[in-house]
């Protein structure tokens, strides 16, 4: 059996307490709160999830240096992979990004109009990029997996997808740096010219000065924390795609009948 930091016999509540970031993965698995002192195995069986697959995902999220080996992947049932990824897509698009967008609207409205508008446009363009990224996976990769499992051939190859798809977290880092530069300064000071700002319509933002608004600091902190948390979560999502989904589909392609 594959060795992970945690075991099937551990209490799920103890796992979440020790690794709070794993709380976000529960919705990706469709696991509701209220599991009490049940073990990981008990909760997984109640919700039709393979415990070893659950532990594999938990290992990726809780161990920053962990990359699953081929042996680990071969030993882990993958039936839950696509449902997990689909629920993740729904979580990002319909819960996490709208939540951040709500905060961003409030912060952008504190800025001079042109700067606020540019930041909103940047974020809206990012949402569309995420939506297109997920739609491409759902229209190509997941049907390809179904075809391979069902013994049907097609012309799609997972290597082409892995080469072409980008990292969704990169632009979030750009957004954070933009916010740091143009966020209202509670002291009334001007922009910090030493902060590197990613390209964002310099002609639009040139000369804009932030407005002082000390009572909105908590909103800004909450929003930046949410963005950084989402960036971390998307980085793990990318590892799952590259290091689990990719090898899994490649193995299916090797064993598929011509």
Cβ-based neighbours of 173, under 8 Å, separated by 6 or more: 198, 231
- For residue 113, pLDDT over 80 is answered with yes
List CB contacts of 222: < 8 A, sequence separation 6 or more.
103
- Measured CA to CA, the distance from residue 162 to residue 250 in angstroms comes to 11
pLDDT of residue 205: 47
Q: What is the mean pLDDT of the chain?
A: 84
Query: pLDDT, tens digit, for every residue of 39-64?
Result: 999 999 999 999 999 999 999 998 88
User: What tens digit of pLDDT does each residue of 147-199 get?
Assistant: 999 988 788 999 988 887 767 888 888 888 888 877 755 444 434 444 454 55
CA distance 63 to 51: 18
pLDDT confidence of residue 180? 80
> Are 73 and 40 contacting, i.e. CB atoms less than 8 angstroms apart?
no
Residue 213 has pLDDT above 70, yes or no: no
171 or 142, which is more confident? 142
Is residue 221 within 8 Å of residue 179, measured between CB atoms? no
């Amino acid at each position: 059996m594959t060795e992970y930091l945690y075991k099937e016999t551990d209490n799920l509540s103890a796992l979440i307490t020790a690794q709070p970031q794993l709380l976000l993965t529960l919705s990706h698995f469709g696991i509701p709160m209220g599991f009490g002192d049940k073990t990981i195995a008990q909760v997984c069986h109640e919700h039709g999830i393979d415990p070893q697959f659950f532990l594999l995902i938990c290992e990726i999220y809780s161990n920053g240096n962990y990359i699953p080996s081929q042996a680990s992947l071969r030993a882990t049932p993958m039936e839950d992979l696509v449902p997990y990824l689909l629920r993740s897509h729904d979580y990002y698009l319909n819960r996490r990004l709208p939540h951040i967008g709500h905060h961003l609207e409030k912060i952008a409205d504190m800025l001079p109009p042109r700067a606020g508008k540019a930041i909103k446009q940047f974020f809206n363009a990012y949402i569309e990029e995420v939506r297109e990224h997920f739609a491409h996976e759902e229209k190509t990769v997941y049907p390809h997996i179904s075809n391979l499992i069902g013994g049907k051939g097609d012309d799609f190859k997972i290597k082409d997808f892995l080469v072409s798809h980008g990292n969704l977290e990169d632009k979030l880092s750009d957004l954070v740096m933009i916010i740091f530069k143009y966020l209202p300064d509670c002291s009334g000071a001007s922009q910090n010219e030493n902060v590197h700002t990613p390209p964002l319509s310099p002609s639009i933002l040139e000369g804009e000065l932030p407005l002082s608004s000390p009572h909105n600091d908590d909103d800004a902190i909450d929003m930046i924390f949410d963005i950084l948390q989402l960036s971390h979560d998307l980085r793990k999502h990318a590892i799952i795609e590259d290091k689990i989904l990719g090898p899994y589909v490649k193995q299916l392609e090797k064993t598929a009948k011509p």
